[in-house]
Chains A and B, each alone.
Chain A
Amino acid sequence: KAGVTQTPRYLIKTRGQQVTLSCSPISGHRSVSWYQQTPGQGLQFLFEYFSETQRNKGNFPGRFSGRQFSNSRSEMNVSTLELGDSALYLCASSLSRLAGGPRETQYFGPGTRLLVL
């Protein structure tokens, strides 16, 4: 079974631009989570989507947004880029079974490295 894929792998943007990152989960996985990894702040949770609905959101400004499509693929968008948005953006997927069932582990993609100049 193919793993989580993320595109593009590398991206260079300038301040003020906007960017869209894509994540395709493992086949059958319905939950997609996004994380930002920086040397200063470490790994921080951005948001999580399940069945096209945002279920959980981290403490990030409104410039960070996302969505999920009916095939569970997800995109995240960052508008008005700032230098501090330079980071590795990781996507993770899981089965997220129904309440009462066992929780599944999150599996991560290779990440998108974003550099803002």
Chain B
Amino acid sequence: AQTVTQSQPEMSVQEAETVTLSCTYDTSESDYYLFWYKQPPSRQMILVIRQEAYKQQNATENRFSVNFQKAAKSFSLKISDSQLGDAAMYFCAYRSAGLENFGNEKLTFGTGTRLTIIP
């Protein structure tokens, strides 16, 4: 079974600064997806960024980028130019891929990191 670990329960960053959230995972699979979701106080889970394991290039979405280290099973999220609206719980998630996992939509989540933005 796969596991996802987020070792930072809480983080804070000054507005306009950069912050990095950590995530490690354990799997014996070679083909999978990794995601970062954001959950603001409204509790709506919002996709931030996703990474396909077969892609060596790190995914980026505007101010959000990841550092994907497949061998180390590490998947960190970097938020640049932090804004007040970035305050939320951030969850790292894993999903199996590959033909043998067709139909397996299950997401395995980490425990989350609460990010506070300091004005």
Which residues of A line the B interface, CB within 8 A?
Answer: 31, 33, 35, 42-43, 45, 48, 50, 55-56, 58, 88, 90, 92, 94, 96, 99-100, 103, 105-111, 113
Contact = CB atoms under 8 A, between A and B. Distances in A.
A50 B91 CA distance: 25
Given A43-B91, A99-B102, A107 B107 contact: no
A42 B4 CA distance: 12
B106 A42 contact: no
B106 A48 contact: yes
B95 A103 contact: yes
B50 A105 contact: yes
Contacts of B35: 105
A111 to B, nearest CB: 5
B44 A31 contact: no
Specify the main secondary structure of chain B where it touches its partner.
loop
18 contacts: A33-B105, A33-B106, A33-B107, A42-B110, A43-B107, A45-B106, A50-B103, A55-B103, A56-B103, A56-B104, A58-B106, A96-B103, A105-B35, A105-B50, A108-B37, A108-B44, A110-B42, A113-B43
Contacts of B107: 33, 35, 43, 45, 92, 106
B74 to A, nearest CB: 20
Interface of B: 33, 35, 37, 42-47, 50, 91, 95, 97, 99, 102-112
A55 B105 contact: yes
Nearest to A111: B43
Residue in A50, A94, A106 whose Cβ sees the most chain B Cβ within 10 Å: A106
B91 A56 contact: no
Nearest to A113: B43
B37 to A, nearest CB: 8
